[in-house]
Amino acid sequence: MTIARKTRILVTTGAAVAIVAGAAAFLPTAWHSPANAAIPPEPPATSSGAAAPVSISSTGLPDFSPLVERYGPAVVNITVKQEVKTAMRDMPGMGGPDDELQQFGPFFFRGMPMPRRQPVVGQGSGFIIDASGLILTNAHVVDDADRVTVKLTDKREFTAKVLGKDRQTDVAVLKIDASNLPTVVMGNASDLKVGQWVLAIGSPFGFENTVTAGIVSAKGRALPDDNYVPFIQTDVAVNPGNSGGPLFNLQGQVVGINSQIFSRTGGYEGLSFAIPIDVALRVQRELVANGHVSRGWLGVSIQGMSRELAASFGLDQPRGALVAQVQPDSPAARAGVQTGDVIVEYDGHAIGEASDLPPLVGETAVGSSAQLKVIRNGKEKVLTARVEQLADASGDSDQPAAADRSHASLGVAVADLSPEQRAQIGIDSGGVVVTAVGDGPAADAGIRRGDVLLRLGGTEIRNSRQLRELVAKTPADKPIPILVRRGDNTLFLALEPSSRSG
């Protein structure tokens, strides 16, 4: 059984957006490189020679063949195998119609589900960054894999070890036991300009070393549930299996890792997204040195500013991150940040959009101080916060930096409840409040803005992070009850499979 799931797909029907991988929902995911002597300095670009610049053909279009000849061998195909428990009925020796045990009665073991381990295979891409066998790819390519196999263009195959993976940035580091391997050259994503040509090499649908080209469509894109990655948007053809492959510039340098596509069908539709290589390398160095990634944490829930909101807060134009909630006993709370503050500058960096803030906080060294310029009651105020480490910040952490995040596969945005809010509405623990409802399963079920979600299936919803995990594990073939508190009433609503499958 093969599943084509190794490129994250932002599937949209109308305004509803779901991050999926094949038939399974992905609700991803920050980088931070604290001052730590255990982390090696950034290595110089690796190469067997100078980068292969792209020439211009007689037609005036770029000729990518020198680049592909030079660096195509450094791009690898990745195959993962995962053992998944399934159910069997009427197993041989368990009361099947032709079984001799039938003599003990017509219902002996008949129809009893018996567990069996079914191998599931997926494919992705990666690229060699060190001649000793260090490989970069996407975390979702190797997530939950029992065995990872790397295949080179010369047909050699190696069993790879996963040195570490970080779901929030979707970066993973592999190691194979080899030497003198071909490598790529690292570029600088910040030097990219919108409109420039870029090229991808990968294994879409298992077709190894497929080359596609396009242009940079935009930079610094924020995607649902990916607060920490300023994605490079391109129109390069990327499909399932391309995930983890390199994105090259015209100088033959890697500037990104192809990670996601935006699609209504599950295939390429002109919108592809790559992780900037500088983000990936920061994560790679921490994973190799420490096995996990540390991130800064302020403890605020934020939202964007509309023109109407900006005017109501005394701003001349929409800018900054509006603080919707401050977590008790957090760095932000101790610094004096208040609900309703608009953060317009963080440690000298202007905050134009709310999405600008999480990456800056994430890369702040834990334990250091950062200055926040906020607008409160129409006046500027400067506060100083001592940044702490994001809780549960392991390589597998899915903890969001802001509680007010889009739960894309449900079509809602939610925020964690403070103890005061819980006391006000009369619940002892858990629960998340719906701050926005778009097209999707939640709207179809009748969920409204202001509802408090208490339980999904038979599990209590403790916070927004755990809700994302519950949604990711929700079966897509049957209705799931969700318990909702609305005003003084509590009621169950049904999330239908038809509305959760797209």
Does the pLDDT of residue 190 top 50, yes or no? yes
Q: What is the pLDDT of residue 129?
A: 97
Q: How confident is the model at residue 38 (pLDDT cuts 50, 70, 90)?
A: very low
Report the predicted TM-score, pTM, of the whole model to 2 decimal places: 0.65
How far is the C-alpha of 6 from the C-alpha of 183, rounded, in Å?
23
Query: How much is the pLDDT for 110?
Result: 37
Percentage, residues of the chain above pLDDT 90 = 40
How far apart are the C-alpha atoms of 162 and 172, rounded to whole Å?
Answer: 7
- Domain spanning 405-500 has what CATH number? 2.30.42.10
- Helix, coil or strand: residue 307: helix
Q: What is the 3-state secondary structure (H, E, C) of 132-166?
A: CCEEEECHHHHCCCCEEEEECCCCCEEECEEEEEE
Q: What is the pLDDT of residue 491?
A: 77
For the chain, residues classed under CATH 2.30.42.10 are 296-389, 405-500
- In this prediction, residue 430 carries a pLDDT of 85
Number of DSSP helices (H) and strands (E) in the chain, helices first = 10, 34
Write out the H or E segment, with its range, that includes residue 125: strand 114-130
| pLDDT over 60 at 145, yes or no | yes
Half-sphere exposure of 237 (CA within 13 A, CB side): 7
Check: CATH 2.40.10.120 for 1-291?
A: yes
pLDDT of residue 384: 95
Q: What angle do CA 247, 251, 254 make, to 5 degrees?
A: 30
Residue 28 has pLDDT above 60, yes or no: no
The pair of three-digit structure tokens given for residue 158, joined into one six-digit string: 């190696």
| Closest among 24, 287, 10, 278 to 166, alpha carbons compared | 287
Mean pLDDT for all residues in the chain: 78
**At CA 262, angle to CA 258 and CA 349, rounded to 5?**
70
Average pLDDT rounded to a whole number, residues 185-201: 95
Tokens 């906080």 correspond to: 361
Return the structure tokens found at 17: 């957006």
Provide the CB-side half-sphere exposure for 426 (13 A, CA): 6
Confidence at residue 10, expressed as pLDDT on a 0 to 100 scale: 62
Confidence of residue 439 (pLDDT cuts 50, 70, 90): confident
CA angle 307, 310, 312 (to 5 degrees): 110
Is residue 272 a contact partner of residue 259, using CB atoms and an 8 Å limit?
no
Fold classification of 296-389 is: Pdz3 Domain (2.30.42)
Looking at the predicted structure, is the pLDDT value of residue 43 above 60?
no
Q: Kindly report the backbone phi and psi dihedral angles of residue 137, in degrees, each rounded to the nearest multiple of 5, phi listed first.
A: -155, -170
**CATH 2.40.10.120 domain locations along the chain:** 1-291
Q: Given a cut of 60, is residue 15 above it in pLDDT? A: no
Backbone angles phi, psi at 388, to 5 degrees: -110, 170
The secondary structure of 459-497, three-state, reads EECCCHHHHHHHHHHCCCCCCEEEEEEECCEEEEEEECH
Length of the chain: 502
* Tens digits of residue pLDDT in 393-433: 433 333 333 333 445 567 888 888 888 788 888 888 888 99
What positions carry a catalytic annotation? 140, 170, 243
> What pLDDT does residue 12 have?
41
